[in-house]
Amino acid sequence: MANGHGGSRTPSNPAPVSGPSQLSRRTDGGPGQPARYVSGLGYGQGQELMDSQTAAPMSASGASQTQGQMNPAPNPAAPPVPLGAPTQRPDEPVTEGNPLGPGAGPGVLSGGVGTNMDAAAQDARQLKAYLPALEKTANMPNVPESFVRFVHYLRGV
C-alpha cells in the first residue's frame, strides 16, 4: 500500500465491535479502576458511593493519564475556618466587594481597572439621556419597585 497505509489493522481494545446479545464483548479495554470504599461519610452514603462506582466503572487508562495532572491536595496545616468562628478580618466591612454599602466595590474582586463595572457605569451615563421618559414611566401605577429604584439610581449617576 502507498506510504504504509491501509490493510488490516488490529484494534488495541479487546473487540473492535460488540456482537449482538450473547455474542457481545467489552470494547473499552476490559475491567477498569476498582471501586473504592470511602470511610467517614454519613449513614448510607458510603454504600451509595460504592453502588454508583460499580454501576458505571471507569476505564483502566483513566487513572494513569490524569494522575500527574490532578491538582495538589490543599494544605492540611491550614484547616478551613469554622462557620461560628470570630472574623479573621475585623477591619473589613461585611459589604466589601458589594456595590452597595461601606467598603470597596466589586472592582476590588477582579482587579479594578477595565472591569465590567466600568462598562456598567458607562451604560448608566448613556441611559441618563432617556431619564425623562424613564421617570414618566416610573410614576405610572403598578410599576415594579425595582424599576423605580433603577430610575432613582440613574438620577444619581
pLDDT tens per residue across all 157 residues of the chain: 556 667 776 666 555 666 777 776 666 555 667 777 888 888 888 888 888 877 776 666 544 444 444 555 556 667 788 888 888 888 888 888 788 888 787 776 665 555 566 777 788 888 888 889 989 999 999 999 999 998 888 888 7
Burial class (CB in 10 A: 0-12, 13-18, 19+), 98: middle
What is the distance between the alpha carbons of residues 101 and 92, in angstroms, rounded to a whole number? 12
- Measured over the CA atoms of residue 56, residue 60, residue 61 and residue 65, the dihedral's sign is positive
Strands (E), the chain: none
Residue among 115, 79, 33 nearest 106 (CA): 115
Residue 49: partners with Cβ closer than 8 Å, 6 or more residues away: 37, 38, 41
Is the pTM for the entire model greater than 0.85?
no
Q: Are 147 and 137 in contact (CB under 8 A)?
A: yes
| Overall residue count recorded for the chain in this entry | 157
